[in-house]
Structure 1
Amino acid sequence: MAELWELSAHDLVTGYAAGEFTPLDALESVLARCDAVNPVINAVIARDDARSREMARDSAARWQAGARLSALDGVPISVKDNLLVAGLPATWGTPGLRDHVPTRDECPVARLRAGGAVLFAKTNVPELTVQGYTDNRLFGATGLPFAPDLTPGGSSGGAAAAVAAGIGPLALCTDGGGSIRRPAAHAGLYGFKPGAGRVPRGEGFPAILGAFEVVGPIGRDMRDIDTMSRWLAGSADPVKEAGPARVLHARRFSGQPVDQEIQQLCDRAADRVRALGHEVVSVESFDATAAIDRIWPVISCAGVAWLRQNDPRLADGFGPAVTAMADAGQGMSATDYAGALVGIEELRLAYREAMAGYDMLMTPAIAALSWPKAQSHPEEIDGQPVGPRGHAVFTAFANALGLPGLTLPAGWSEAGLACGIQLVGEPGADESLLQIGLQWAN
């Protein structure tokens, strides 16, 4: 029989309902697993075991009484360190917040707690969650459980590494430019970025990326992604069967380099989507999103600059990379930011025109396989030099346009590194993506 830490949330609640084991049993298994592997991967940065056990005992009593609160009641779920959990540290990966312990949950966390989830741990992030790997001066770098010297990406790298290692079947994360979808791909997991406005936010850290950043899950089982996504959105209705979709498969964006093994795995994934009954049209390069490369630095750097200027706790400063972002943002004007917003609307029109006749876009979720964990980005992809965002070219446009996105595990390289594909739906098409994800998993 599998260890309880290996089970999906779906299998855990099935076991609770049958009386085979309790939420406390599951939690103890997950905590023991964390004790065993976290010293190697550095994914979890805070726990409150006494409080978690209390939540698990309360859940066990509800299951025994036939009064579960949701399909997540008693499931151990970790929370990314830029999301506020009452009684647990929320450092955002920056030294100025090392002693910050919130007294209330922010909205998505409160929603999980209301459903009886056991919120047992916080997971590591890069400083201010604005980089594509996971390292900071407070806790150090996070590695993958199957390659501890390599990064799970970022900014939900701690969450992805934890779930991949069996430290809980699900993690609550944020995605402000690909921060759910890319780490899920690096870790061989599922990750869902909801469309803008689907999951309510509030009572958290300042929204320096505005509505472009959303909250969603990373998990090992697509059924769990579906369940948690619907609970967070306030919809208990199961996903409805969807008809065949017309999918545009873009092998690369604007000719930018992609690792050859990733291309091969994603080409096979396109064939698999076809085999599920969907029409897939492949193109070598997709150019409609190119403007995001000049738009996104304005949005992110301006947000970091605003935070440095307005939060006195951060007076001691950031690390070099985030300081450079803040300095760049400080030098921007209101007209620069307005220009970025205008650029987003132009991007929206260009994307809509390019996607005419298609229901969704399919791309690689990552352009590069995992690289050394203390290095911010790979310097080369497929033999070509790239900048800090060269590995992350496929994701930020979906944030800018408020579109739902889903990462599906696409297989493994010859060296044993994970890869994923990304599906991006139309506005409001979250349910269609979840449906295809369930088809893929089955």
Structure 2
Amino acid sequence: MTGHALPDACALLDGFRSGSTDPARIMADHLAAIETHNPSLNAFSARAEDVLSRAEAARDRWAAGTPLGPLDGLPVIVKDNLVAAGLPTAWGNAALARRVPDHDEVPVARLRQAGAIVLGKGNTPEFAVEGYTGNATFGVTGNPFDPALTPGGSSGGVVAAVASGMAAAGLATDGGGSIRRPCGYTGLWGLKPGIGTVARGGGLPQVLLDFETVGPVCRSARDLALLQSVLFPLPAVASGPLRILAVARLPDAPCDPGILGCFSETMERLRSLGHVVETGDLPLDLDPLNEVWGSIADIGLAHLARRDPAVMEAAADKYKAMAQRGAALTAVDLFAALTRVYALREAVRGLWGFDAVLMPTAAAMPWPAGEAFPDRIDGQTVGPRGHAVYTGWVNAAGLPALAFPAGRVAGLPVGMQLIAGPGAEARLLDVARQLDA
């Protein structure tokens, strides 16, 4: 089963509250789903052993009317670059896979404090810097809609688990599109919060500056709002029509025709909901950012190599090469890259008079799971980030973005994203509620 064939987290929690079902039974169902689906999907890089006893304790608390919080007993999966006590934070790396932390990173702690039960860790490419999900330590993760294809990355393990019924919801990160593209490839809802919205702390070293934020991955818009309220409560906002700039293509960047068809349908859907949708070009020159994007990850990995040599010693050769390139760069090179990032953040201030920007989450449909990227899109040769042209600038700009399902092509899900101004997460969640009604 995938997607809407499965109950969402809110439905499960309603059952716990009413007594019509209980966390122990639901946990047993999820464990059975893991046994059925994980051998073909390889979503988990680590599993917790105490989840059934935790679910039984949650059942007793609900029966007594004393739940820990709004998520008590909910089975969730956490991306394997987020620290969770008692489980390795492997980040796809063999050295880190041998270390077991005794604390939770701040967002994980907030989920646990609300009663969520962490089933395990979701597989990710090593250091979470690529757009597919596979590594030499744990292998390749498949897409629930076709296990031979990728679920995207770097949050592929999380989305594969949530979409296939192995977890009710997930917690992931997005440093260049790593929540939005995988959600698009698996028919899920995801929120990439803006910089600073969800607190970090107690985690791994950052590789992508402050671009990477933590957000929820869910089966419904209401689940997204619930999990976000636990991670960081947002103010209520008045519903109203948005003025949306719809950008289907970027200059010289191909996009799959099926995705463009879903984009046109999404524009009409938003118009039918009362929003004003205007088509146009993105009023940004992304070339300066694209020219330095690779060097930012290189420098981040060079810093990681200096801070923890054992981790880089165990890394795949391509990441060692990236770290070596980064080590050869200077502080002046980093400052030059940061100058371009800050210029981008000024250029998006006010979103050119729009409330939001609509774009696809990805330019390509899913490709073979073991390949890092598709080398052709709509007959045109592309490089490693040809499929990812729509997402990275949002991270560099620090803006929040909503990923939502927008149809299917040949049976495979297609996702779209709405990007808003700083602090507008609540507006995005309101639109999500409308779209999911």
TM-score (norm: length of structure 1)? 0.95
Q: What is residue 380 of structure 2 aligned with on the other side?
A: 384
Query: Which whole-Å CA distance do the structure 1 matches of 2:258 and 2:190 have between them?
Result: 21
Report the AA paired with residue 383 of structure 1: G
CA distance in 2, matches of 1:321, 1:25: 44
Aligned to 2:313: 316
- The residue aligned with 2:96 is 97
Kindly indicate whether the alpha-carbon contact (under 8 Å) linking 1:252 and 1:286 is maintained by their aligned counterparts in 2.
no
Give 2:165's aligned residue.
Answer: 166
Letter in 2 for 1:396: G
User: Matches of 1:167 and 1:240 in 2, distance apart?
Assistant: 33
2:180 maps to which residue?
Answer: 181
Paired residues of 2:188 and 2:219 also in contact (CA < 8 A): yes
Report the equivalent of 1:225: 224
Instruction: Using the TM superposition, name which of 307-316 and 284-293 deviates more.
Output: 284-293
Does structure 2 conserve the Cα–Cα contact (< 8 Å) formed by 1:163 and 1:170? yes
Query: How much has 1:288 moved relative to structure 2?
Result: 3.6
Hey, what's the Cα distance between the residues in 1 that align with 2:421 and 2:68? 32
* 1:14 corresponding residue in structure 2: 14
Task: Name which of 255, 258, 262 aligns with 2:255.
Answer: 258
Asked whether the 8 Å contact 2:312–2:320 carries over to 1, the reply is no
Q: What is residue 109 of structure 2 aligned with on the other side?
A: 110
State the match for 1:342 in structure 2.
339
Q: Cα offset for 1:70? A: 2.6
CA distance in 2, matches of 1:231, 1:426: 22
Measure, in 2, the Cα distance between the counterparts of 1:376 and 1:229: 30
- CA separation in 1, counterparts of 2:100 and 2:374? 34
String of CA shifts for 1:251-280, please: whole Å, max 9, x gaps.
112231111110111111111111111000
Offset of 1:346 from its aligned partner? 1.4
**Residues 170, 369 of structure 1: CA spacing in aligned structure 2 closer, same or farther, 3 A cutoff?**
same
- Could you say what secondary structure the match of 2:358 adopts? strand
Matched residue type, 2:354 = Y
1:362–1:424 CA contact under 8 A, matched in 2: yes
**Helix, strand or coil for the counterpart of 1:403?**
coil
**How far is the alpha carbon of 1:198 from its aligned partner?**
0.8
Cα distance in 1 between the residues matched to 2:312 and 2:259: 42
Report the CA distance between 1:55 and its aligned residue. 1.8
Quick one: which of 406, 409, 429 aligns to 2:424?
Answer: 429
Instruction: Choose the corresponding residue for 1:366, options 362, 369, 386.
Output: 362
Q: Indicate the residue corresponding to 2:40 in structure 1.
A: 40
3-state SS of 2:140 partner = coil
In the alignment, structure 1 segments of 5+ residues that lack a partner are none
Q: 1:284 Cα shift?
A: 5.3
Q: How many angstroms apart in 1 are the aligned matches of 2:335 and 2:387?
A: 27
Distance between the aligned counterparts of 1:234 and 1:421, measured in 2? Answer: 25
> How many Å separate the matches in 2 of 1:287 and 1:208?
25
1:418 counterpart residue number: 413
What does residue 391 of structure 2 align with? 395
Q: What is the one-letter code of the residue matched to 1:277?
A: G
Q: Which amino acid aligns with 1:428?
A: G
Alpha-carbon distance, 1:98 to partner: 2.2
The CA distance in 1 between the partners of 2:7 and 2:225, in whole Å, is 16
CA distance in 2, matches of 1:254, 1:320: 33
Q: RMSD of aligned C-alpha atoms?
A: 1.7
Q: Structure 2 residue aligned with 1:268, among 252, 256, 265? A: 265
After TM superposition, the structure 1 stretch with the greater mean CA deviation from structure 2, 281-290 or 355-364, is 281-290
Rounded to whole Å, the distance in 2 between the matches of 1:234 and 1:426 is 18
Tell me by how many angstroms 1:46 deviates: 1.4
- Deviation of 1:15 after TM superposition, in Å, equals 0.5
Q: In the aligned structure 2, how far is the partner of 1:234 from the partner of 1:434?
A: 12
Query: Contact (CA 8 Å) 1:288, 1:350: kept in 2 or not?
Result: no
Question: What's the CA shift for 1:74?
Answer: 1.2
CA distance in 1, matches of 2:356, 2:380: 29
Which sits farther off after the overlay, 376-385 or 210-219? 210-219
Q: C-alpha separation between the residues in 1 aligned to 2:374 and 2:312?
A: 31
Equivalent residue runs for 1:295-314 within 5 Å: 295-314=292-311
Cross-structure match for 1:289 = 286
Q: TM-score, normalised by structure 2?
A: 0.96
Q: Shift in Å at residue 285 of structure 1?
A: 5.7
- Determine the C-alpha separation between the residues in 1 that align with 2:365 and 2:51: 35
Taking a change above 3 Å as real, the CA distance of residues 215 and 174 of structure 1, as seen in their structure-2 partners, is same
Contact 2:345 2:398 in 1 (8 A): no
2:77/2:167 contact within 8 Å kept = yes
Aligned partners of 1:153 and 1:231: how far apart in 2?
26
Asked if 2 retains the 8 angstrom alpha-carbon contact of 1:108 and 1:232, the reply is yes
The amino acid that maps onto 1:241 is A
- Partner in structure 2 of residue 77 of structure 1: 76
* 1:419–1:315 Cα change, 3 Å: closer
Code of the aligned partner of 1:422: Q
* Alignment partners' CA distance in 1, 2:98 and 2:345: 41
Contact (CA 8 Å) 1:41, 1:142: kept in 2 or not?
A: yes
Q: What code does the residue aligned with 1:242 have?
A: S
Q: Tell me which moved more, 147-156 or 295-304.
A: 295-304
- Structure 2 gap segments, 5+ residues each: none
Fraction of identical pairs, as percent: 43
Q: What is the alpha-carbon distance in structure 1 between the residues aligned to residue 67 and residue 104 of structure 2?
A: 21
For residue 119 of structure 1, give the secondary structure of its aligned residue in structure 2: strand
| Letter of the 1:141 counterpart | V
| 1:424 shift after superposition | 0.5
In the alignment, residue 256 of structure 2 is paired with which amino acid? D
Answer whether contact 1:255 1:285 (CA < 8 A) is retained.
no
Aligned equivalents of 1:10, 1:23: Cα separation in 2: 13
Q: Report runs of 4+ in structure 1 exceeding 6 Å deviation.
A: none
Report the Cα distance in structure 2 between the residues aligned to 1:54 and 1:179, rounded to whole angstroms: 32
